[in-house]
Chains A and B, each alone.
Chain A
């Protein structure tokens, strides 16, 4: 009498199949993973001390151009510091900011978005108006003002990004929660006797999690760009720590004599941001059918 309808893949294997079959997840994830490994093992990978200056070897071209210096594969900057080592250490800063800032923005935004969507009423009104006011500020300007007030440093960059960009998460999560809370499983959870916070975090949040993951990936890309902008104008970490933005600023001054100095950090920036966006895009298409099943 019982009709067993178990025809699909057991457990969550279906999701993994969808993820692995997606070229963007593969490609984007691969490149992001590579950058992550470089950041993680920066001290081991960097051939030179990124701060060590050799004024006799300033503005050396990369290895494939004439007049290059052995041991300096990507050449040196105006102070004779190894560009490859500086790029590698700059990756560390970029990725720390990307993960921590996107994580903080996500945590704040998801919490407020969940509350606004689920509780509705004055909670929703308050949070939604707050979001409206927030997005009315030009983000780059606001971040520069924030960092100027907080003082330069990695923590200020992270705080600035989190404080500005939580709205991206909050808006999308709120909208999705509005859909999810009308689903019958929420009514079932109420009849079962789960409390509202338990329903919010145990029942609704897992259903918006794929969406949050996609937003998080996209936010990492934005955080990398913002960090580069801030370090370009000298508002990020202290100047003795190599950053991509700082390198672009330094390279800008000698763009006619040594264009590679500016092009290389820009190339890294583009590669990482493209990879993060591709990964986010791939995740979105791979996870969506699961979300809507």
Chain B
């Protein structure tokens, strides 16, 4: 692609104490594209998202590599400058809609805070905009929802609110950290469709973190397969999932249920394979 990617991660290493959580990860997200990031739990998927957003947990830090967002280097950026990029530059659709909204504040307060702080809107304009956003995520009766507390809404509704909040500032990049994992299957489909719909409409680039290859096949343009903090396979979805090169990706595919394939042909990912990959990864050392 001739255009510069919105996000370019290169040889990223993240450590937590003596432990390497990410081992030389490189990936990029082009404008208006959805880049999938898959891997089993503990593979470091969320760590990548958190490094990009500058929300690494206490103790974890980037030890090497570069994260370029719209041409700007984020590694080594002062935390305040990094936080200033959040909202209008990049933002997060969190994993668990149950805990991501403050239980003591009404939905209206959450939405108005984003619009007022990040977009600099006044109260009335922010309210109008909030209503329009809720409408855009197909919430009926947005007026009433603004007056609700989070626990009064279902998980799907809350995720819709969070999606509305993410798109509120028209960010260039959204990190969606397993946004459907905490939802039940029927709601998952609706939420996926909604994210895709808004993404196309707004032309936003999305880094879509998931452990579900089915989801990747449905909404992603490219995919990166991660294991033990390193990239095993990367490329356009059609290639990577259609003709996977790496044994692990093949194993993952064989373990994924599909409509066109009876369930009895599912094969768990062989333990020796994952073990070998883990040993291989631990042997990796940071380069200069």
Q: Which residues of A contact B (CB under 8 A)?
A: 1-6, 8, 10-12, 120, 183-185, 187-194, 203, 206-207, 209, 293
Contacts and interface: CB of A to CB of B under 8 A. Distances in A.
Binding site of A, secondary structure by majority: helix, strand, loop or mixed? loop
B55 A6 contact: no
A12 B104 CA distance: 10
23 contacts: A1-B138, A2-B140, A3-B156, A4-B140, A5-B153, A6-B144, A6-B153, A8-B151, A10-B148, A11-B149, A12-B149, A184-B94, A184-B100, A185-B99, A185-B103, A187-B55, A187-B94, A188-B94, A191-B55, A192-B113, A192-B117, A206-B102, A207-B103
A140 to B, nearest CB: 37
A190 B83 contact: yes
A206 B149 CA distance: 14
Contacts of B86: 190-193
Contacts of A183: 99
B16 interface: no
Interface in B114-153: 114, 117-118, 138-141, 144, 148-149, 151-153
B108 to A, nearest CB: 13
Which among B102, B105, B118, B140 has the greatest number of chain A C-beta atoms within 10 A? Answer: B102
B82 to A, nearest CB: 10
Interface string B55-94: 1001000000000000000000000000110110001101
Contact of A184 (B87, B96, B151): B96
B187 interface: yes
A11 B107 CA distance: 12
A189 to B, nearest CB: 7
Contacts of B282: none
A189 B102 contact: yes
B156 A5 contact: yes
Contact of B104 (A2, A10, A190, A206): A206
Interface string B235-257: 00000000000000000000000
Contact of B157 (A4, A120, A191): A4
A120 B58 CA distance: 10
Given A187-B92, A191-B91, 9 more contacts: A3-B154, A5-B156, A6-B152, A10-B152, A188-B100, A191-B55, A191-B92, A192-B113, A193-B87
B92 A185 contact: no
B102 A5 contact: no
Contact of A193 (B83, B144, B151, B162): B83
Contacts of A193: 83-84, 86-87, 114, 117-118
A277 B86 CA distance: 46
Query: Which 8 residue pairs across A and B have the least CB separation, nearest first?
Result: A5-B154, A206-B104, A184-B100, A185-B102, A184-B99, A193-B117, A2-B140, A191-B86
Contacts of A189: 102
Contacts of A187: 55, 92, 94, 100
A5 B92 CA distance: 24
A83 B55 CA distance: 65
Given A184-B100, A187-B55, A192-B87, A3 B95 contact: no
Which among A120, A183, A192, A293 has the greatest number of chain B C-beta atoms within 10 A? Answer: A192
Contacts of A185: 99-103
B56 to A, nearest CB: 11
Nearest to A182: B57
A120 B117 CA distance: 26
B190 interface: yes
Contacts of B55: 187, 190-191
B151 A293 contact: yes
A194 B117 contact: yes
A180 to B, nearest CB: 10
Contacts of B152: 5-6, 8, 10
A8 to B, nearest CB: 5
B160 interface: yes
Nearest to B80: A195
Nearest to B57: A182
